[in-house]
Amino acid sequence: MTTSLKLTDICDQFDRLFPQIDVHTHPSLEAVKSARSLLETAIASDAFILDCIEHELALIETSKLGSGLIPFFVQPTTGVQFSFGYWSPGASPGPHVHTAWTLTAVCRNTLNVLTYDTQTAIESGDLVIKKNIDATQGQVGFIHRVCVHEPINTSDRWTWTMHVTSPLDGQPSDEFPSDRFQFEQEQPVISDHPFSEVVRSRQRRVRLRYLRSILMTMSCERSAACLATCDRLGVKSQNHNLLITESPIKAQPYSNAQNRTYKLQRTHADLILKCKRTDTAATLLVDTPNGPEELVEMDPIAEPALQFVSQNLSFSADSLPGELSQLEQYQISETLENLGIYRSYT
Ligand SMILES: [Fe+2]
């Protein structure tokens, strides 16, 4: 179904449905259900999705990423927050409580959502399953007031969701005095450790690569402009070897000339990398706040390249040493980018 509903249309309707930001009251069940219907129509609209992607790309460009949901847009009048969720296979935030209305739209693939009996959770802290919902693409679920739930991507593909939440969500509620559950809210990256930059780079790359795969399925001036933004922000690859895409694109062999222009620099100059060799593998390790962490294990043939990487803050893909093909040089470089330890530059 194609509609031309835009983000501004949704916001106009939300102004009628929801209290203004300075009025700290919860809307009626009918208002939340109306918003749910609107969102269900909206996510079928390329115009709406592109509005949201443009905001998301602007958010990514600011690098203000962290774990959890990060709003790409906050409606100034109502304070309603719009966020995207990117769920790898098996991903789940675990059981958590919402203390105000929320909408969860499945934009791509599926999402399993367990809801728990709220009263039991309040009284005893025990989690008793109330509903087990398999939400499919295009469906929008809602929470009106307090609810304990646990979404999980039980599929073997990535899931893309949109979350529309009340500005009151996450605030302590008289209806839910228990402190047994975490509130789902933005967790800004606050550590000064160089590894924090790795985490941010991974988040940025996952988002850009997924958005790119969505944009590749569209064909209009705005989607082309968004793709150009993805390119500018450093995701030119069409080898979606980590993500299961909407339109898989066959990997292209890379030439030496292309590898020469594929330049990478470490995401933080103080980030410490080490290469470890065993009989069966070459492993790259990174220093984290919790000690060394194994990043990736490769065939021993990659050892000279990984040693080289651990000793150089910047390099081009064609300079990776060892008995590697041009495609292998490219794939190792791209893997380093996906891991968040290097960023491409021109
Ligand atoms: Fe949630």
Q: What is the pLDDT of residues 195-222, one digit of tens each?
A: 888 888 888 888 998 999 999 999 999 9
Quick one: average pLDDT of 301-311? 95
What pLDDT sits at residue 43?
A: 96
Lowest mean pLDDT among 35-39, 100-104, 192-196, 302-306: 192-196
Label residue 1 by pLDDT band (50, 70, 90). very low
Which candidate, 91, 93, 71, places its Cα nearest to that of 80? 71
Higher per-residue pLDDT: 27 or 119: 27
CA of 272 relative to ligand 1 center, distance in Å: 36
pLDDT given at position 242 = 35
Interatomic CA distance for residues 320 and 229, integer angstroms:
28
pLDDT of 321 strictly over 70: yes
- How sure is the predictor about 21, in pLDDT bands with cuts at 50, 70 and 90? very high
Band of pLDDT at residue 187, cut at 50, 70 and 90: very low
Distance 114 CA to ligand 1 centre (A): 10
Kindly give the distance from the C-alpha atom of residue 87 to the centroid of ligand 1, in angstroms, as a whole number.
Answer: 13
- Domains of the chain listed by start with CATH number: 7-188 (2.60.120.10), 195-345 (3.90.930)
Query: Separation of 283 CA from ligand 1 center, angstroms?
Result: 36
Judged by average pLDDT, the poorest of 20-34, 138-152, 332-346 is: 332-346
Terminal CA-CA length for the chain: 40
CA of 146 to the centre of ligand 1 (A): 11
304 — pLDDT class (breaks 50, 70, 90): very high
pLDDT at 252: 55
- Is the predicted pLDDT of residue 250 greater than 50, yes or no? no
Q: What per-residue confidence (pLDDT) applies to 105? A: 98
Non-local (6+) Cβ contacts of 207 within 8 A are 56, 60, 65, 84, 86
> How many Cα atoms are found within 13 Å in the side-chain-facing hemisphere of 26?
19
pLDDT value, residue 100: 93
Instruction: Report the separation in Å between the CA atom of 150 and the middle of ligand 1, taken as the mean of its atom positions.
Output: 7
The two structure tokens encoding residue 257: 């000339």
Chain mean pLDDT for the chain: 87
Cα 303 to middle of ligand 1, angstroms: 43
Q: What is the pTM of this model?
A: 0.80
Ligand 1: centre distance to CA 98 (Å): 6
**Predicted pLDDT at 53:** 98
Range of weakest confidence among 122-131, 135-144, 179-188, 272-281: 179-188
Dist. CA 172 → ligand 1 center (Å): 15
Ligand 1 center to 256 CA (angstroms): 47
Q: How far is the CA of 101 from the centre of ligand 1 (A)?
A: 10
Distance 6 CA to ligand 1 centre (A): 25
pLDDT (0 to 100) of residue 3: 61
180 CA distance to ligand 1 centroid (A)? 15
Using 50, 70 and 90 to split pLDDT, how confident is the model at 174?
confident
Q: How far is the CA of 274 from the centre of ligand 1 (A)?
A: 38
pLDDT of residue 126: 86
Distance of CA 96 from the midpoint of ligand 1 (Å): 6
Q: How far is the CA of 36 from the centre of ligand 1 (A)?
A: 15
The fraction of the chain above a pLDDT of 70, given in percent, is 88
How many whole angstroms from 149 Cα to the centroid of ligand 1? 6
Among the listed ranges 56-70, 74-88, 215-229, 269-283, which one has the minimum average pLDDT value? 56-70
Ligand 1 mean position, distance from CA 121 (Å): 15
Q: How far is the CA of 69 from the centre of ligand 1 (A)?
A: 9
Ligand 1: distance of its center to the CA of 162 in Å?
Answer: 11
Q: In this model, does residue 273 exceed pLDDT 60? A: yes
**Residue 229: predicted pLDDT:** 94
Q: How far apart are CA 189 and CA 191, in angstroms?
A: 6
